[in-house]
Amino acid sequence: MNNKTLTIKANIMNKLFSTTLITLALSACTATDNTNVNASNNSIPNNSHNSPKNIIMVVGDGMGPAYTTAYRYFNDNPETKVIEETIFDRHLVGMASTYPARVSGFVTDSAAAATALSTGVKSYNGAIGVDVDKKPIETVLEWAKKQGKKAGVVVTSQVNHATPASYLAHNENRRNYNAIADSYIDDGIKADVILGGGWQYFIREDRNLVNEFTSAGFHYLDNPKGLSSLPQEKPVLGLFADDGLPWALDDSNKHRLLTMTQAATTQLENNDGYFLLVEASQIDWAGHGNDIAAAMAEMADLAKTMEYLENYVKNNPDTLVVLTADHSTGGFTIAAEGKYEWNPEVLRTMKRSPHNIAKKLAAKDITIKETSKLLNFKVTQAEIRLLQQAKYQASEQLVKFYALDESAQQQQVKPSIETTIYIAVKKLIDKRTNSGWTSNGHTAVDVPVFAFGKNSEMFSGKIDNTEIAKNIFTLLGKK
């Protein structure tokens, strides 16, 4: 073979080799691009073996972004130069939109939001696990039970309130409390652990649902002290109040959500795993009341609960925890009146809720000594005068109300000394802390999403609240 032929063959081989290298490089780039696309789209594991064994869904009802930010400052150690990171800071992964079905506009209520979080379907305000045509939609809790997992619900409201009901029931109106409670038996028992409040809905003249649960094999308790000694391998119904539980500030256990969650996770553990809903219900109630003192105590209870779950996941890495809010409540503002400051110091010292303080002050003389004792910080003479004036005006209005004939009374709202003092106490605390509010209802802002544990990356970025349920369905094996 002559030298010219050898040279031609060598050139051909070099070109083929170069083409092969380019093809391989392009293939690698394509694979890398596809991986990045999947990651940015919150890629979902194809193999069910890669899914978490346990899924814990936590809802901070009413907990818009201002609440988690305020908790950081409330929780801060003033003795240090830095503002300490909170459990919420450690696990923030994104934000979620909360709007309901178009028929209800842009601002959701708790029922429509919880239905979106539990079913992946937008519905109208007031809907409990039903679509806009009022047809039942399967919830992630119901699907988890069908897959052989255990299920539980832990809330600080009554257990048939909007959020827990939207995971356990199907009803066209969230206000149908008795019917929702009845469905927990009549439509088949769907949870192995139910903890919260609600005596008045479960023990009624027309029906005793507690007896029906115990007849179905449930262990019932009405005192949270019994949570430390629950019988193993037995379903549990725990009801600890007539409606919702006491405010965290007023409860003998300031971290009652934590205590119930600890008991529920222990009780639900099994070889097939479980789905657990945990709701910090009363952040929302504090927001509706524009009550920053109660709100921060509820946030502290939630934070302790999340710290427990963070440690739980370390010991049970096959567990996923997702926390979000259904909406934000109250239009809470950290700093008001144009003043560039927020002062949570007095909130850290308070031992009673403003509700409780108002009840005490309505029944006795309002003095500096007594009021300072109840608030657990020293009040001024000017603040006392405002409280005294509020009580005096409410008393006068009550006298005028009683002077009316019966028909005229029925056309008015009866004045309440306690309620008037409650409003005055909250204003005092708002002034001290420089807290602001724009509403006593919900707002339409996006809410934070927090996640940790197995497959937590699926919940990152800007998502819609329905995507949370859809991702959980996928992790539970639903096509």
Phi, psi at 363, each rounded to 5°: -95, -5
Token pair of 424 as six digits: 């005055």
CB neighbour list of residue 248: distance below 8 Å, 6 or more residues apart? 156, 254, 255, 256, 257, 282, 294, 297, 298, 300, 301
CB 145 within 8 A of CB 190: yes
Residue 125's Cβ-side half-sphere holds a number of Cα atoms within 13 Å equal to 12
CA distances from 8 to 3, 16, 19, 22, 448 (A): 9, 13, 17, 21, 66
Residues designated catalytic: 110
CB 291 within 8 A of CB 297: no
3-state secondary structure the chain: CCHHHHHHHHHHHHHHHHHHHHHHHHHHHHHHHHHHHHHHCCCCCCCHHHCCCEEEEEEECCCCHHHHHHHHHHHCCCCCCCCCCCHHHHHEEEEEECCCCHHHCCCCCHHHHHHHHHHCCCCCCCCECECCCCCECCCHHHHHHHCCCEEEEEEEEECCCHHHHHHHCCECCCCCHHHHHHHHHHCCCCCCEEEEECHHHHECCCCEHHHHHHHCCCEEECCHHHHHHCCCCCCEEEECCCCCCCCCCCCCCCCHHHHHHHHHHHHHCCCCCEEEEEEECHHHHHHHCCCHHHHHHHHHHHHHHHHHHHHHHHHCCCEEEEEECCCEECCCEECCCCCCCCCCHHHHHCCCCHHHHHHHHHCCCCCHHHHHHHHCCCCCHHHHHHHHHHHHHHHHHHHHHHCCCHHHHHCCCCCCHHHHHHHHHHHHHHHHHCEECCCCCEECCCEEEEEEECCHHHHCEEEEHHHHHHHHHHHCCCC
